[in-house]
Structure 1
Amino acid sequence: MNDKAMNPADAPLYPIREVSRLTGVNSVTLRAWERRYGLIRPQRTPKGHRLYARDDIARIERILQWLGRGVPVSQVRDLIDQPETATPAPDTESGDWDSQRQQLIAAVEALDLSRLEALFNQSLALYPVNVALAELWHPALAQLEESWGDKLGAGLQRSLLEAFLRTRVGTRLYHANHVARGPRLLVSRLPEETHQLGSLLLALAASHEGYRVVLLDDAPPLNELSLAVDRLHIAAVVLVSAQAERSELMRRQLPRLAEQLAIPVCLAGPVTRIRAADLENSGLEALGEDPVQSASRLGPLLSH
């Protein structure tokens, strides 16, 4: 089948892979919106292949707008089926995002891998990655971080969640890197950050933006980063931490690295807030704490 088929009225119809390319919504999500919620109703070829009209694409873009405003997918149909002039602003606080976050937190606290697997697959099937991260995974993990502290079982919960996400995110990066055409990023932790959750979410957000992501499990020696940049053809280095990190590193070593490398050296995570004063005029790029916003801020840095 050609990338674009024509109906009898010569109005263009698009196969699902083309609609995915045009809208940024993967085919799994498009099928889930159709089957589970009836949000879109594509036509079918005699062999059962989906074909989408321009009106379908416009409807998908409206769905994305509502999701981007924090509306859960379960509420979107009622909104987009109303005339735009009559559509009220949604009360997103009354949606089911909070319920989904609490389910995710409960699954982690109960060490329920089956439930965790189901929530992960469901969230990334029903929502674009950036929406799932912004509304579910990032706030839920932030809530877990606040509750863990020295609580009994917190270390096991964190380790299990990190191992789970490392496998799932790693698999998605592997497949996405084969088809992505964007610049290649190196994502890693800073030396005093002993956990991976922040770098995993950022890597997933960057992959969604079309970057090819090289994710390192451990903080690399700073004096070897230039070798990594050269051999791996890296366009930007993104270092993630929730810690304050050493003053020598923040005030001297990292600015020196940024001066030596001919590419952006970026920091992400709470370190950008904790060390905001040290980052001014340092030559380092502060992307912020939110993984989705951090990934979106890379674009202007790499377009120079």
Structure 2
Amino acid sequence: MNATPKEPAARHPIRIVSRRTGISQELLRAWERRYEVVTPHRTKTGRRLYSDEDVRRLRLLADVVEGGRRISDVASLSVQELIGLKEEDARAARPGLPQDPAPSSDEDHIEEALALIRAFDQEGLRGLLERTTLELTRPRMREAFLVPLIRRIGSEWAEGTLRIAHEHMATAVIRAFLTAIPGRTGSVEGAPLAIIAAPAGQQHELGALLAMATIIEAGWRALYLGPDLPAEEIAAAVKSRDASVVALSLVFPAGDPGVVHEIRRLRDLLGEDVTILLGGSAASMYQRVADETGARMTLDLGSLVQELGSAQD
């Protein structure tokens, strides 16, 4: 007598699935609601639990969407069809082969955001940011939307295209959006702690906020201290909370001797046991002091995640 095949065990809560697939919890719920991409098991208390097959399917969906496909076009495909589509897209993207133009949606989002900033439309900008959490996977939202948007805000401010008031309004809205991420993702009990700040003389904080969001998504706890903070204050927080990593955001001005002094002073105060990470658009201008103090350079968010992994080894 043949045994009835068992259904795959549903054992993964939505927080774990989000981390494994790179799909934010909000986006995952939206995909389930609109496209029925998976049907998680519900516990008596209403918690979603996902099987290994669910996770595999969601990871494939995230991959093909990351490659430029619309979720509405691929949501009904089987796992085998998704694998075939992913392989087809990978072959088409190999160097030397003609490629279709990249989707314009990311650039459209950026231009829409800049138009809202120029119009001082705080509510419109807030709504756009929330909309992107439903339309884009978390890595794509960060890399293809937030990073270039923050760079454009900085460059247009430096060129005088955006006023200081524009930059401050945008910072306030993006700060509120990014600082809400810990509540959305939850924190892992017992995870290592990183402290994020911009040192004295560095007034711009969007890069630091983006680093904070990336650190949280990498499974760490994060304490954000803000911009323009003296080395003594950063060190006091590190020692009080027993943090293992300090991430410093360096944006403007670039190559500032005062910032060089602050980095040296921070290393003197912390000793050699705490990892110091230097990131931001001006970080490469501080390579000499990084070499001198043993600080690690994180010139993009991918290298930030890699350095966090090294700090745990």
TM-score, normalized by length of structure 2? 0.79
Matches within 5 A, 1:70-109: 71=69, 73=71, 76-77=74-75, 82=81, 84-85=83-84, 87-88=88-89, 89=92, 91=100, 93-109=102-118
Q: How many residues get paired?
A: 294
For residue 26 of structure 2, what is the amino acid of its counterpart? V
Q: Hey, what does 1:266 align to over in structure 2?
A: 277
> Shift of the alpha carbon at 1:45?
5.8
Distance 2:40 2:294 in 1: 53
- Does the 8 Å contact 2:199/2:230 carry over to 1? no
List runs of 5+ in structure 1 lacking aligned partners: 1-6
For residue 11 of structure 1, what is the amino acid of its counterpart? P
Distance 1:92 1:61 in 2: 24
Between 268-277 and 157-166, report the one with greater CA deviation.
Answer: 268-277
Classify 1:232/1:145 alpha carbon distance in 2 versus 1 (closer, same or farther; 3 Å).
same
Distance 1:76 1:95 in 2: 19
Q: What's the CA shift string for 1:245-273, capped at 9, x where partnerless? A: 433542x5523532552211111112222
> Shift of the alpha carbon at 1:149?
3.0
Classify 1:169/1:192 alpha carbon distance in 2 versus 1 (closer, same or farther; 3 Å).
same
> Shift of the alpha carbon at 1:183?
1.2
Distance 1:281 1:293 in 2: 24
- Does the 8 Å contact 2:188/2:220 carry over to 1? no
Choose from 205, 208, 212 the match for 1:203.
Answer: 212
Distance 1:101 1:301 in 2: 33
Classify 1:71/1:204 alpha carbon distance in 2 versus 1 (closer, same or farther; 3 Å).
farther
Distance 1:189 1:237 in 2: 10
Distance 2:41 2:275 in 1: 47
Distance 1:178 1:248 in 2: 35
Distance 2:110 2:161 in 1: 22
Choose from 237, 240, 254 the match for 2:249.
Answer: 240
For residue 165 of structure 1, what is the amino acid of its counterpart? I
For residue 282 of structure 1, what is the amino acid of its counterpart? T
Between 69-78 and 237-246, report the one with greater CA deviation.
Answer: 69-78
Percent identity between matched residues is 20
- Does the 8 Å contact 2:195/2:245 carry over to 1? yes
Distance 1:205 1:60 in 2: 21
List runs of 5+ in structure 2 lacking aligned partners: 94-99
Q: Hey, what does 2:127 align to over in structure 1?
A: 118
TM-score, normalized by length of structure 1? 0.81
Q: Hey, what does 1:3 align to over in structure 2?
A: none
> Shift of the alpha carbon at 1:62?
0.8
* 1:64 matches 2:43: no
Matches within 5 A, 1:163-182: 163-173=172-182, 176=185, 178-179=187-188, 181-182=190-191
SS of equivalent residue, structure 1 residue 229: helix
> Shift of the alpha carbon at 1:137?
1.0
Distance 1:240 1:61 in 2: 31
SS of equivalent residue, structure 2 residue 278: strand
